[in-house]
Amino acid sequence: MIDIKDVSFEYGKEQGTLSRIDLEIRQGECVLLCGESGCGKTTITKLINGLIPHFVEGGTLSGATFVNGMEVAKTEMYHLAEQVGSVFQNPKSQFFNIDSDSEVTFGLENAGAAPSEIRERFEATVSALSIQPLLGRNIFSMSGGEKQSLAFASVYAMNPSVFVLDEPTANLDAEAIDILRQQMIRIKKEGRTVIVAEHRIYFLMDLIDRAIFIQNGKIAQIFTREEFHKISENQRIRMGLRSLVYPTLKLPHADPPGAKVGLSVENLACTIDKQTVFGGINFSAVPGEVLGIIGHNGAGKTTLIRCLCGLLKESHGTVQLDGKAVNVKRRNKASFCVMQDVNHQLFSDSVWNECEVSKPDCPAERIEKILETFELLSFKDRHPMALSGGQKQRLAVATAILSSKYLLVFDEPTSGLDYRRMLEVSDMIKNLKSENRVILIVSHDFEFLNRTCDKIFGMEGCSAERRKSCVGNI
């Protein structure tokens, strides 16, 4: 049982705060923490897993949090770790080993469990969560979904009575989300307490017992499952929440190849290390249209993007721009990709210089105008890394527009975004339509695709299923 008693917390100056949180969570309950980014839901998870006050430095905390009778602030992290397991947002930064088997046993080895007990828990975890396909593998060869599954398993192996999940699906596709859902059903059945902070809610609807809606660091409302199910579409939009129902795509198919303007892809195939990733890709996208590209992890979406952007040579087929076949080199000159982790593509020491790097001979007025359209002009002397996620993304797009790229590709532009921020990205992309460019979006986010795209291209059926295995359902 978890008891948060009149807790207020303040980070340094800039970040949000929590004020006077009172919350009791019964053993075996599954509780959703929802609300906009920065509302404080992650902060509440940190109260429970002890990162506040043990790990976060320089905050002021008042009130007390109890987990299974232990006062969090007065308990060592490693004691808490035996009862509270945490899965975080980023699958890449949660593992400590290179091979998967070591990762599953990591927590138990830290606690100094007897080798026979470790082996027992290892076997129990493997069969309870059906992770056989993940065993004996190099973690760096795993997809984001597989890594997250492994993180979940390594927490499960420690046998905690409380699971704290902080935006666990931010980087996952629909299939991986479903696996996580199955794992959550399992731990709930076993009577473990689950606290999950999430933007994506639809997959949790029948799992949760209560939903806590948080606004500006305060608990604004507590819903029972039944009450939460009754929320109307208008109300959930007012609350700034993502879709409550499983979103389905309602978009027409992409045009067949052969467009005389824009992009036409005909019978395209790519191989990596002599293995075919996909073949027979056929579609067109005309300027001013936004085309969504979908396909589950491993279908080769990233490879397709790299090929279209001229970072990878095709093994077969042609790519045409405005009716003319273009080779790898020319595609590279004509295209830009806004990456999922936009931090990889901002290099300069200020927003203004970032623009100048893109087009050294560009007149200042044009840069000013473009920064203005992307609402970045007032930040022109800021370091790009000091911008918010959305601003970084807009800056990356601004650099692409400046260097007159014809083909713009967005790779998962909405991963981990709340409703309002998703709308912002959607509006920005829709505004680009008037610019006479070909725009492609690769995404798992159906709610976003429905709002933003005109047509859709599905990669299913084109891919040669590179993956050796996938985690089965439980």
Partner 1 sequence: MSSLSRNHTLKIDPRTELLLLVMANVVAFTQHSVWVEITWVVLLLLLIIVCGCKKAAGKLAVAFGIFLFLQYYVFPNGPKMIASSFTIIVSYARKIFPCLIVGTLILQKTPVREFMVSLRKCHIPQGLIIPLSVTIRYFPALKEEVGYIRDAMKLRDIHGAEKIECLLVPIMISAATTAEELSAAAVTRGIENPAQKTSMIDMKFGVQDFVCLALGAVFCVISIAVG
Residues that bind partner 1 (CB under 8 A): 49-51, 54-55, 76-78, 80-82, 84-86, 88, 90, 92-99, 101-102, 105-115, 118-119, 122, 140, 151, 154-155, 158, 306, 309-311, 332-333, 335-337, 339, 341, 343-347, 357-358, 385, 399, 403
The strand order across the sheet containing 438-442 reads 335-338, 407-411, 438-442, 290-294, 455-458
Least separation in angstroms between CB 334 and partner 1: 10
Is the CB of 327 or the CB of 332 nearer to partner 1? Answer: 332
Kindly state the smallest distance separating residue 106's Cβ from partner 1, in Å: 6
Of the two residues 134 and 211, which places its CB atom closer to partner 1 in the complex?
Answer: 134
Residue with smaller CB distance to partner 1, 221 or 388: 388
Helix, strand or coil, per DSSP, at residue 464: coil
| Residue in 445, 402, 400 with CA at minimum distance from that of residue 426 | 445
CB of 456 to partner 1, least distance (A): 24
CB of 113 to partner 1, least distance (A): 6
Type of residue found at 202 = Y
Joined together, the tokens standing for residue 355 give 């623009």
Query: Shortest approach of partner 1 to residue 355 CB, angstroms?
Result: 11
CB closer to partner 1, 158 vs 367 = 158
The separation between CA 66 and the C-alpha centre of its own chain, rounded to angstroms, equals 31
Nearer to partner 1, 113 or 254 (CB): 113
Q: How far is the CB of 139 from partner 1 (least distance, A)?
A: 9
Structural tokens at position 440: 């492609």
Q: For residue 110, what are the CA distances in angstroms to 68, 129, 148?
A: 21, 22, 20
Length of the chain: 474
* Burial per residue of 57-82, b for 16 or more beta-carbon CB atoms within 10 angstroms, e otherwise: eebebebebbbbebebbebeeeebbb
Give the other-Cβ count within 10 Å of 98's Cβ: 11
What string of DSSP letters covers 113-129? --HHHHHHHHHHHHHHH
Pick 251 or 367: Cβ nearer partner 1: 367
Tell me if 183 sits within 8 A of 155, measured CB to CB: no
- Name the minimum Å distance from CB 108 to partner 1: 8
DSSP H helix total and E strand total for the chain: 16, 19
Nearer to partner 1, 37 or 399 (CB): 399
Give the shortest CB-66-to-partner 1 separation in angstroms: 18
Strand order from edge to edge, sheet including 30-34: 84-87, 162-166, 193-197, 30-34, 210-215, 218-224
Our CB check for partner 1 shows the closer of 156 and 419 to be 156
